[in-house]
């Protein structure tokens, strides 16, 4: 835990909030050698299961971050719903439709991981990479000028310190003080008129193989109890249709609520580990950037919990912004590159908000591959350069997610494209008999799949199936920035990102 005396006077990036968004951004910047400081007003990571779904696209992000093994070890899959009435389970329903992994998309099923554990994993990786979180330290006020941001930082004991940063990122939640100080408005609506209660509680009398539900999600004072895989408690979610005030979150009130709405008795209900309330809303910030300040996660978009979209969208905000900050701060890319953050992420957030709101209002609890965020991309964004013509419908295009493909090295060692992409660098990928220029740049790696003198052999044709033939520049966040039949336009493209190249022509 950092004290105010230990806080640096100047950092490259100041991040307000150590939730999933701020931690993801902090660790991404740390692996790029960017000096970042994450501020967290609490004296520890936030407790509570909260958002617990990790979508397949976020699993790909976590593989790149080097934390997926810990996520898989700590999490599990969702059980079927168990519908209760009159003290007995009357129906069982599949909720999370299992997907089928493919060579291009190796992760196909949403994982269940408590948010508190997600944060622990992110924090461990951040500190391993040399990043810092200042707990018990909040951002009180800030000003910005043409060169940076001046922030007034306050500790729980009231002591203050000024920290100067080149950029400030608000990852401080749906009520974001930073967003309000900027005067950025949120456009949105109430998803449901009633409050909801969340709590983590230990109890007896229920199996851990179902997501137990009493009442309809959208129409009654429902209750659900879900046992997170590998943990000794249940997550309670409860609705209050006729309540105009916030529900009582005291342990006795939580236990009484469960006893009143289910067949469980008070003597079966144990320790309440954490509890909180919220009202389901959907809102989108009108801007994601104001000068040298950026909004990310819930500070930029607030989701209903339906569909497990909020946390995943937030982590991917950080994934999009981190490499751009790194290129501008460390590698001389123009500041205008940072404008692409809003241009790319705001339309995505708007679309996902519409999906989660529709799901909440419908009451439909089945969850399929349409929620996995694998189709998220930026083909219409400012960074997508497609130089090929005559592409077939459904073909990979610039701006799309860069697929995985299992290949082998010339000596027969298995190697996936995701392993080639993993890290903070760009990748120039040549598939087939395409010229691959010699490049000189610490942030660029090259890889030839097939053709003459290959780095990888596409023995089963998975890379060609996913990419076709051509030359592709893959961004650090795993999207295709540039696709062409040859390398003639590559030097100009690399210059957009501050990448120094020496192309052998």
How many residues are there in the chain?
505
Residue 77 DSSP label: P
Residue 406 bridge partners (DSSP): 416
Strand 406-408 relative to strand 414-416: parallel, antiparallel, unpaired? antiparallel
pLDDT at 246 over 60: yes
Q: Provide the pLDDT for residue 364.
A: 56
pLDDT > 90: what percent of the chain?
79
Q: Please, what are the domains in the chain? A: 4-75+113-187+282-371 (3.50.50.60), 76-110+193-279 (3.30.70.2450), 385-495 (3.40.30.120)
Candidate from 75-84, 156-165, 272-281 with smallest mean pLDDT = 272-281
Per residue in 305-317, pLDDT (tens digit) is 765 678 999 999 9
pLDDT at 504: 38
- Of 248 and 367, the structure prediction assigns the larger pLDDT to 248
H or E stretch at 189: strand 186-190
Query: What is the chain's mean pLDDT, rounded?
Result: 91
Residue 206 near residue 212 (C-beta atoms within 8 A): yes
Q: What integer pLDDT is reported at residue 189 of this predicted model?
A: 59
d(CA 434, CA 428): 12
**pLDDT classification of 199: cutoffs 50, 70, 90:** very high
Residues 275 and 236: their CA atoms lie apart, in Å, by 9
- In this structure, of 99-108, 183-192, 194-203, 312-321, the range with the lowest mean pLDDT score is 183-192
* pLDDT at residue 354, rounded to an integer: 77
pLDDT at 2: 47
Range 314-335 average pLDDT: 97
Q: Does position 191 have pLDDT exceeding 60, yes or no?
A: no
Q: Rounded CA gap, 288 and 340, in Å? A: 10
Quick one: pLDDT at residue 308? 62
According to DSSP, residue 88 is labeled: E
Number of DSSP helices (H) and strands (E) in the chain, helices first: 11, 27
| Beta-sheet pairing, 281-285 with 289-290 | unpaired
Structure tokens given for 464: 């060609």
Query: What is the Cα–Cα distance from 263 to 20, expressed in whole angstroms?
Result: 36
How far is 59 from 65, CA to CA, in rounded Å? 10
* Phi/psi of residue 336, nearest 5 degrees: -60, -20
pTM of the model: 0.94
* Section 52-72 average pLDDT: 96
C-alpha to C-alpha distances, 95 to 81, 109, 215, 307, nearest whole angstrom: 6, 12, 16, 11
pLDDT-derived band at 505 (thresholds 50, 70, 90) equals: very low
Q: How confident is the model at residue 358 (pLDDT cuts 50, 70, 90)?
A: low
In this prediction, residue 245 carries a pLDDT of 74
Q: What does each C-alpha distance from 319 to 22, 151, 289, 359 come to in angstroms?
A: 11, 24, 16, 26
Instruction: Assign 243 a pLDDT band (cuts: 50, 70, 90).
Output: low
CA dist., res. 44 & res. 7, Å (int): 17
Q: What are phi and psi of 112, to 5 degrees?
A: -105, 115
pLDDT number for residue 3: 44
Distance CA 214, CA 261 (A): 7
Rounded average pLDDT over 435-456: 90
Q: In this predicted model, what pLDDT tens digit does every residue of 370-413 receive, in sequence order?
A: 676 778 899 999 999 999 999 999 999 999 999 999 999 999 99
pLDDT at res. 366:
53
Q: Given a cut of 60, is residue 145 above it in pLDDT?
A: yes
Task: Give the span between the Cα atoms of 302 and 310, in whole angstroms.
Answer: 7
pLDDT tens figures, 71-125:
999 999 999 999 999 999 999 998 777 789 999 999 999 999 999 999 999 999 9
- b/e map of 229-262 (b: 16 or more CB within 10 Å)? bebebbbbbbbbeeeeeebebebeebbebbeebb
Sole residue written with tokens 């069982």: 92
Q: Are strands 36-40 and 132-135 parallel, antiparallel or unpaired?
A: parallel
């Amino acid at each position: 835990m950092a004290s105010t005396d230990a806080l640096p006077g100047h950092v490259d990036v100041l991040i307000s909030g150590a939730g999933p968004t701020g931690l993801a951004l902090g660790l991404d910047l740390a692996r790029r050698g960017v000096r970042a400081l994450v501020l967290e007003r609490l004296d520890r990571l936030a407790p509570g299961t909260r958002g617990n779904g990790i979508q397949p696209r976020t699993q790909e992000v976590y593989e790149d971050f080097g934390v997926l093994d810990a996520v898989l070890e700590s999490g599990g899959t969702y059980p079927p719903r168990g519908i209760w009435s009159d003290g007995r389970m009357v129906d069982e329903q599949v909720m999370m439709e299992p997907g089928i992994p493919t060579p291009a998309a190796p992760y196909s099923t949403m994982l269940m991981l408590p948010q508190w554990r997600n944060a622990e994993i992110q924090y461990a990786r951040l500190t391993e990479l040399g990043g810092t979180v200042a707990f018990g330290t909040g951002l009180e006020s800030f000003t910005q000028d043409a060169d940076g941001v001046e922030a007034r930082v306050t500790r729980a004991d009231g002591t203050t310190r000024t920290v100067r940063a080149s950029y400030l990122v608000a990852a401080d939640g749906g009520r974001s003080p930073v967003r309000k100080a900027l005067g950025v408005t949120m456009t949105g609506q109430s998803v449901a008129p009633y409050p909801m209660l969340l709590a983590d509680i230990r109890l007896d009398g229920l199996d851990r193989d179902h997501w137990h539900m009493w009442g309809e999600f959208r129409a009654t004072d429902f209750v659900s109890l879900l046992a997170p895989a590998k943990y000794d408690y249940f997550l309670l979610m409860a609705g209050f249709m006729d309540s105009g005030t916030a529900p009582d979150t005291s342990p006795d009130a939580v236990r009484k609520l469960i006893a009143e709405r289910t067949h469980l008795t008070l003597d079966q209900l144990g320790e309440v580990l954490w509890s909180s309330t919220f009202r389901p809303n959907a809102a989108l910030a009108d801007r994601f950037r104001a000068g040298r300040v950026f909004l990310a996660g819930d500070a930029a978009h607030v989701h209903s919990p339906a569909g497990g979209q909020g946390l995943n969208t937030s982590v991917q905000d950080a994934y999009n912004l981190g490499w751009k900050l790194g290129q501008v701060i460390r590698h001389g890319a123009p500041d205008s590159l940072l404008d692409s953050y809003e241009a790319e992420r705001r339309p995505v957030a708007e679309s996902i908000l519409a999906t989660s709101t529709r799901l909440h209002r419908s009451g439909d609890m089945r969850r399929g591959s349409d929620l996995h965020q694998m189709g998220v991309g930026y083909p219409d964004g400012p960074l997508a350069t497609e130089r090929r013509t005559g592409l077939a419908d459904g073909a990979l295009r610039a701006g799309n997610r860069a697929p995985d493909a299992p290949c082998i090295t010339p000596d027969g060692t298995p190697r996936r494209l995701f392993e080639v992409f993993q890290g903070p660098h760009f990748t120039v990928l040549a598939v087939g008999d395409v010229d691959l220029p010699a490049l000189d740049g610490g942030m660029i790696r090259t890889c030839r799949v097939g053709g003459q003198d290959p780095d990888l052999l596409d023995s089963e044709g998975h890379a060609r199936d996913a990419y076709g033939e051509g030359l592709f520049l893959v961004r650090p966040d795993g999207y295709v920035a540039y696709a062409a039949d040859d390398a003639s336009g590559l030097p100009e493209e690399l210059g957009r990102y501050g990448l120094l190249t020496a192309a052998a022509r």
